Structure 1
């Protein structure tokens, strides 16, 4: 098992404002420097990093400084995270064009995985057909990733139509894309993350780990919240998955490096106990 960290903690998550009027340009991105993030991620002891597609798009014309930082820090770019609405037929071609661009960027910067979230909740409610639309779109994402030598996975996320365990079951039956459990989002959606991993062991393709205070909904460094992360890791091991675990934390009251170090120390100790 190898351990990576998402650069989201260095600046939080934003959306490109051009996306309000141009769907094809609606990227996720973190406000902070991903170059500085990678330096600190490597210094903490992580072997890998995950970034948003928008952060790579912002440096696409001058990629070498970031590539040099990855090499100097001993950090592998593991994965690129993106997302889309996926349920609106008229805008889906533009969303897929943007995801194709994300795949191109992922390969240019050396990543091997594409992670997507999404499935919009409509103002008027969610018709059952939206799960069919989302499933079909996610199959397109899987095909697109494969064309670029990437492995794709779907990340259930709060505010989308895949929050609860029942909603997860509905989409998993409609798509062949891999499963990326996010421990905090699954718990906030009313699920038991370990149980949901055990429900879909053969679909596990990527893992996001973060803790949560269930009373407040605040995301926290690993070991600081309410989740039984030992059971989560045991479920991952039982599935046969032996690859990247990505620590993710949207924001922190302290420094990003300190939060990353807390999670790294906790996870390193946990892995030594669970996998020994």
Structure 2
């Protein structure tokens, strides 16, 4: 039975930690909303788990019991944490990986299952072929970090990185051992077919993000044109029994967006 979770980033949007401008070790993803409100709304709309940005998780590094109480009060599992990095610049890679190790260690303490990363910087003067090799090697180091703390490592293709298109994804996946976390809307926005990606990489999918897409916009499930019927069928064919996390980077009423997606998924008996 597939399990349903939600990303807390809708409460505050996709931004970043300002300290990262001058300090790579503090370059976290950070949604500027309330994690407390997010967990309350996620539970109220019928999800049983949540994913959180690394920056929002690390806000609780000295308040671990507070976060554990929030999770218990709302009967929510911490599915995983999302992080990211440039990955292709040797001079800062060590700092990026040390940051990720701190995040992975804390996530593991809280019972997380997944460690998800995005990234691979686009250079000002364009992508070098060697950037894919460097990204692949860096992601293998992420695998080692995640597995050290009992987490499942996955790569999340993302707009604004060197892995947007199907061809770029294929190039990277041949260069690394990391699992794939398909984000269905980012795959389509990059010119790919999420159904085909799920089928092609079925043996490397331990986790997946759902969001709908139409006319250049990320939308609640059912409000775009993504073919979730075929995606869920493809997942069922590989006996997928892991988490499906709904992610919506921003929405005027975050709780309402979560409700729309949850109602849509009930048609699949999820």
Shorter-chain TM-score: what band?
over 0.9
Q: How many residues were matched structurally?
A: 269
SS across alignment from 2:162: coil
Task: Return the offset for 1:271.
Answer: 4.1
Question: Distance in 1 between the 2:147 and 2:266 partners?
Answer: 32
Task: Return the offset for 1:239.
Answer: 2.5
Q: Does 1:263 align with 2:261?
A: yes
SS across alignment from 1:90: helix
Q: Structure 1 runs of 4+ off > 4 angstroms?
A: none
Report 1:1-276 matches (<5 A): 1-213=2-214, 215=215, 217-253=216-252, 255-271=253-269
Q: Structure 1, residues 111-141: CA drift from partner, whole Å, max 9, x if none? A: 1110000000101111111000000000100
Question: Distance in 1 between the 2:197 and 2:113 partners?
Answer: 24
Stretch moving more, 263-272 or 195-204? 263-272
Q: Structure 1, residues 219-276: CA drift from partner, whole Å, max 9, x if none? A: 10000001111111112222332110000001113x111110110111122245xxxx
Q: TM-score, normalised by structure 2?
A: 0.98
Kept in 2, the 8 Å contact 1:155–1:181? The answer is yes
SS across alignment from 1:91: helix
Stretch moving more, 175-184 or 13-22? 13-22
SS across alignment from 1:49: strand
Task: Return the offset for 1:10.
Answer: 0.6
Task: Return the offset for 1:197.
Answer: 0.7
Task: Return the offset for 1:57.
Answer: 1.1
Task: Return the offset for 1:6.
Answer: 0.4
**Unpaired stretches in structure 2, ≥5 consecutive residues:** none
SS across alignment from 2:222: coil
Task: Return the offset for 1:107.
Answer: 1.2
**Unpaired stretches in structure 1, ≥5 consecutive residues:** none
Stretch moving more, 55-64 or 163-172? 55-64
SS across alignment from 2:187: helix
Stretch moving more, 116-125 or 262-271? 262-271
Q: Structure 1, residues 34-85: CA drift from partner, whole Å, max 9, x if none? A: 1211111111110100001101111211122221111111110110000000
Question: Distance in 1 between the 2:154 and 2:247 partners?
Answer: 16
Question: Distance in 2 between the 1:202 and 1:241 partners?
Answer: 10
Kept in 2, the 8 Å contact 1:233–1:271? The answer is no
